[in-house]
């Protein structure tokens, strides 16, 4: 009784993981519920049925959790191992945070033994790696490229831009000729749309030193050039700050889909929104160009991974299922069903040949994509809106590039130091 | 709350007197017995969470500690030191105080003015005004906020069209964004003030008002010199309530300015605490902000009560 009272007085901390490794029983899996989830369920059901047939006495219980409340659900799973799943799908920017929270199991050995692992593209592999150890398998990648309006480009006689400077020029021309439209839709809160500008100018968000510590590099000269190139696009001559400073990626994509913008940085996963919008049939996609003609601006390699929870009591089975779910066959089927880009370079090349739409995205990935710093501090930087604040301050004319970037670097360094 | 004076029977020590004695003891405990359920509920709902809040604010407690990735450690006042060293926190604190003060002032002014108006108009307009106010009152904050944002939308909002503001964006500038939120907060919180004060005015004896009118007092004079003193207890309650509500405003800012406005210019303490505690899982820092808010609100309330008591008001 006294123990209970005492335990009730301190904030709770969950104990470590279970140490058994059962070879039968129920394996619980949480996957994200996508918009239009049926095709995904069909693919997963196929994988699961095969898996159950191969392992006697094993039942797999798959649940689809809503993407919006995933953070709470997964935090809950870490806090209460007894009701946690064995295998989860998670956003790749969350990897480092989940590892620090002690939620994900280190599967370096099993990943190394996996025959298909050699074909996983390096950026995708980086997104499951923290401190040299591997905490899951990449399930698919999402990458952004430049959507543009073919009809408007034809009408105004604009050529497809070959450099970021030409992108800006084309944007201003569209705005000048079609004042009711934005040239290139930009957003102060659209971090993933802005990052390629920084990377294209040779900048970095943060640099990793020898001992694995990160220091902010957002205030370095090349990064500042990239920030300036992006924030210059806020203004009456392209996308007025009064409207665009608050926009995020979704608002940008919506503006383009509704015919309100000549260009937008959008993802392969935004295709359906375009097809459902006014611009259907009037748009094309190219890789976002870099600073030099013929180069491609490095894009952010988003996407999801699947990982085994540290608390699982069926470790071997869970790792097996992880490899099945993230394997080439499944990724291929997921592409056909959902349009998710495979994380294996060879599988990706294969699908690009068959589906011309994904070609610019695959090209972007092959040119080398970038990833956010793989540290738990990133979650804090992301939640603290450090980068949106920086872009918005500059776009709104509240401070200069140097000052805003310096402030952002300070905040990032503070988060890295913790 | 004075302990009820139990009718104490004469105490004598004698075996035959024991039943009476035990009844007396029972009498002393009876009030507590009756209060026990309420106290248990209050303790569970108020004291325990506040205790936890205070405790967590002294610890290093992030998601890593909750899920057992790292041990919990005692930090003393470090979280508070970090908070007050953070220039953004000081800025947000100042903005919150000013914004809440403006909201309280606006709510009380509108509420009281409309309450007086209610006593001066005929039945039908009174009914209509009451219905409109109740409608605003009954609207959930999130719905009200969404509708207000739409009304003031730069592209599609009717307000800009009526005022001829073109595509002026209300949420872009810091002041205009705060003003927009202030309108919504006043709109959704004046009905309580209005209805309460109206009920208070109704309870004021008619002769008093009639005497004031006969003496030639203006409407303003009547309010200042007759109604305000008589309504003091009611005004006290609605003011404290407004202070607490408006200091804790969350939904309106979160919805209308998209989680704190451009570059965080419209952050108030509650949204800031949410950002720290839940979005970035720094529960201990969020708790420290909560404790600071609690202390400020307690301080304001106590100060207000004291000021009033000094004026000789029986509360």
Place B26 in a pLDDT band, splitting at 50, 70 and 90. low
Cβ pair A11:B52 closer than 8 A = yes
Q: Is B79 on the interface with A (CB under 8 A)?
A: no
- Count the domains in chain A: 2
Window 110-129 of A, Cβ < 8 Å to B? none
Could you tell me the CATH number of the domain that includes residue B199? 1.10.3720.10
Same domain, A196 and A275: yes
Report the alpha-carbon distance of residue A301 to residue A394 in Å, rounded.
Answer: 26
Look at residue B8 and tell me if it is in a domain: no
The pLDDT, as a whole number, for residue B131 is 95
Place B20 in a pLDDT band, splitting at 50, 70 and 90. low
Same domain, A166 and A294: yes
Cβ pair B66:A79 closer than 8 A = yes
Q: Provide the CB-side half-sphere exposure for A98 (13 A, CA).
A: 34
Q: Is B68 on the interface with A (CB under 8 A)?
A: yes
Same domain, A224 and A360: no
Query: Mean pLDDT in runs of 10 for chain A (418 residues)?
Result: 45 64 91 87 95 93 87 85 91 89 91 92 90 93 95 95 96 95 95 96 92 91 96 95 90 92 93 89 96 95 93 93 95 90 93 91 91 86 90 92 95 89
Same domain, A196 and A268: yes
Count of Cβ atoms closer than 10 Å to residue A215 Cβ: 15
B154: closest chain A residue by CA: A243
Report the alpha-carbon distance of residue B309 to residue B312 in Å, rounded.
Answer: 5
- Count the domains in chain B: 1
The pLDDT, as a whole number, for residue B9 is 47
Look at residue A3 and tell me if it is in a domain: no
Whether B32 shows a pLDDT value over 80: the answer reads yes
Q: Is A109 on the interface with B (CB under 8 A)?
A: no
Long-range contacts of A288-292 (CB under 8 A, 24+ apart): A288/A144, A288/A145, A288/A146, A288/A164, A288/A167, A288/A196, A288/A200, A288/A364, A289/A146, A289/A161, A289/A162, A289/A163, A289/A164, A289/A166, A289/A167, A290/A163, A290/A164, A290/A200, A291/A163, A291/A164, A291/A165, A291/A200, A291/A201, A292/A163
The pLDDT, as a whole number, for residue B166 is 80
Q: Is A249 on the interface with B (CB under 8 A)?
A: no
Same domain, A128 and A216: no
Cβ pair A103:B67 closer than 8 A = yes
The pLDDT, as a whole number, for residue A1 is 34
Find how far residue A413's CA is from the centre of its chain.
22
Chain A neighbors of B264, CB-CB under 8 A: 385, 389
Residues comprising chain A, all counted: 418
Look at residue A247 and tell me if it is in a domain: yes
The pLDDT, as a whole number, for residue A379 is 82
Same domain, A131 and A42: yes
Residues 6+ apart with CB under 8 A from A144: A192, A193, A196, A265, A266, A267, A268, A288, A299, A300, A364
Cβ pair A383:B279 closer than 8 A = yes
Look at residue B301 and tell me if it is in a domain: no
Same domain, A238 and A275: yes
Give B177→chain A minimum CA distance, Å: 12
Could you tell me the CATH number of the domain that includes residue A398? 3.40.190.10
Give B300→chain A minimum CA distance, Å: 29
3-class SS of residue B173: coil
B284: closest chain A residue by CA: A11
The mean pLDDT of B219-225, rounded to a whole number, is 90
The pLDDT, as a whole number, for residue B10 is 46
Cβ pair B263:A241 closer than 8 A = no
Window 191-210 of B, Cβ < 8 Å to A? none
> Which domain range does residue B145 map to?
91-247
Same domain, A165 and A268: yes
Same domain, A62 and A189: no
Same domain, A309 and A213: no
Chain B neighbors of A97, CB-CB under 8 A: 63, 281
* Range of lowest pLDDT (B59-63, B197-201, B207-211): B59-63
3-class SS of residue B171: coil
Place B111 in a pLDDT band, splitting at 50, 70 and 90. very high
Window 230-259 of B, Cβ < 8 Å to A? 258-259
pLDDT tens digits, residue range B182-196? 999 999 999 999 999
Number of CB pairs, chain A paired with chain B, less than 8 A apart:
101
Look at residue B47 and tell me if it is in a domain: no
Same domain, A162 and A295: yes
Give the closest of A9, A102, A242 to B67, CB-based.
A102
> Which domain range does residue A317 map to?
13-142+301-366
The pLDDT, as a whole number, for residue A272 is 83
Q: Is A322 on the interface with B (CB under 8 A)?
A: no
Cβ pair A383:B167 closer than 8 A = no
Look at residue B19 and tell me if it is in a domain: no
The mean pLDDT of B125-133, rounded to a whole number, is 94
Give the closest of A11, A243, A393 to B263, CB-based.
A393
Look at residue B227 and tell me if it is in a domain: yes
Look at residue A8 and tell me if it is in a domain: no
Count of Cβ atoms closer than 10 Å to residue A319 Cβ: 24
Chain A neighbors of B70, CB-CB under 8 A: 100, 102
Look at residue B280 and tell me if it is in a domain: no
Q: Is B154 on the interface with A (CB under 8 A)?
A: yes
ipTM of the complex: 0.71
Same domain, A161 and A237: yes
């Amino acid at each position: 009784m006294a123990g209970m009272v005492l335990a009730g007085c301190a904030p709770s901390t969950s104990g470590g993981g279970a140490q058994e490794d059962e070879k039968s029983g129920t394996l619980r899996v949480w996957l994200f519920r996508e918009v239009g989830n049926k095709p995904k369920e069909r693919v997963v059901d196929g994988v699961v049925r095969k898996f159950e047939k191969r392992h006697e006495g094993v039942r797999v219980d798959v649940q689809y959790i809503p993407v919006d409340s995933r953070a709470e659900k997964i935090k809950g799973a870490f806090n209460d191992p007894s009701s946690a799943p064995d295998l989860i799908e998670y956003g790749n920017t969350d990897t480092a945070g989940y590892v620090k929270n002690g939620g994900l199991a280190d599967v370096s050995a099993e990943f190394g033994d996996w025959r298909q692992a050699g074909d996983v593209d390096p950026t995708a592999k980086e997104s499951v790696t923290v401190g040299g150890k591997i905490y899951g398998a990449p399930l698919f990648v999402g990458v952004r490229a430049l959507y543009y309006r073919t009809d408007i480009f034809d009408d105004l006689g604009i050529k497809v831009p070959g450099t970021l400077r030409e992108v800006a020029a084309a944007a201003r021309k569209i705005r000048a000729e079609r004042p009711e439209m934005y040239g290139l839709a930009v957003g102060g809160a659209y971090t993933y749309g802005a990052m390629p500008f920084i990377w294209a100018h040779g900048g970095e968000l943060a640099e990793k030193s020898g001992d694995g510590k990160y220091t902010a590099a957002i205030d370095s000269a090349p990064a500042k050039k990239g920030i300036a190139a992006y924030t210059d696009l806020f203004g009456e001559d392209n996308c007025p700050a009064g409207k665009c400073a608050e926009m995020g990626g979704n608002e940008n994509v919506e503006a383009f889909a509704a015919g309100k913008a000549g260009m937008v940085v959008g993802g392969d996963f935004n295709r359906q929104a375009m097809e459902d919008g006014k611009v259907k049939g009037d748009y094309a996609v190219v890789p976002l160009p870099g600073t030099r003609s013929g180069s491609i601006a490095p894009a952010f390699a988003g996407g999801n991974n699947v990982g085994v929870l540290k608390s699982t009591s069926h470790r071997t089975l869970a790792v097996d299922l992880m490899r099945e779910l993230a394997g080439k066959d499944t990724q291929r089927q997921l592409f056909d069903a959902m349009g998710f880009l495979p994380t294996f370079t060879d599988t990706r090349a294969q699908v690009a040949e068959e589906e011309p739409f994904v070609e610019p995205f695959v090209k972007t990935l092959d040119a080398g994509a970038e990833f956010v710093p793989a540290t738990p501090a990133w979650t804090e930087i992301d939640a603290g809106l450090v980068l949106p604040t920086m872009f918005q301050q500059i776009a709104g004319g509240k401070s200069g590039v140097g000052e805003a970037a310096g402030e952002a670097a300070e905040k990032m360094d503070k988060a890295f130091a913790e | 709350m004075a302990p009820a004076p139990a009718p104490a029977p004469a105490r004598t020590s004698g075996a035959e007197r024991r039943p009476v004695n035990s009844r007396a003891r029972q009498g002393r405990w009876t009030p507590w017995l009756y209060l026990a359920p309420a106290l248990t509920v209050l303790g569970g709902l108020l004291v325990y969470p506040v205790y936890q809040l205070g405790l967590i604010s002294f610890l290093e407690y992030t998601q890593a500690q909750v899920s057992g990735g790292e041990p919990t450690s005692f930090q003393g006042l470090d979280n508070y030191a970090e908070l007050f060293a953070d220039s953004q926190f000081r800025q947000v604190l100042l903005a919150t105080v000013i914004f809440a003060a403006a909201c309280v002032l606006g709510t009380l002014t509108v509420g009281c003015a409309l309450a007086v108006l209610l006593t001066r108009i005929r039945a039908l307009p009174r009914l209509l005004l009451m219905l409109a106010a109740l409608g605003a009152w009954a609207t959930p904050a999130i719905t009200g906020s969404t509708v207000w944002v739409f009304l003031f939308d730069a592209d599609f909002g009717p307000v800009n069209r009526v005022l001829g503001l073109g595509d002026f964006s209300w949420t872009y500038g810091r002041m205009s964004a705060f003003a927009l939120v202030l309108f919504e907060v006043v709109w959704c919180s004046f009905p309580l003030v209005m209805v309460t004060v109206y009920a208070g005015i109704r309870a004021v004896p008619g002769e008093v008002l009639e005497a004031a009118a006969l003496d030639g007092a203006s409407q303003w004079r009547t309010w200042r010199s007759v109604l305000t003193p008589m309504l003091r207890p009611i005004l006290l309650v609605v003011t404290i309530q407004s202070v607490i509500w408006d200091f804790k405003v969350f939904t309106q800012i979160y919805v209308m300015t998209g989680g704190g406005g451009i570059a965080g210019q419209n952050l108030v303490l509650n949204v800031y605490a949410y950002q720290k505690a839940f979005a970035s899982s720094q529960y201990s820092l969020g708790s420290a902000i909560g404790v600071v808010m609690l202390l400020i609100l307690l301080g304001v309330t106590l100060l207000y009560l004291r000021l009033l008591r000094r004026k000789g008001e029986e509360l």
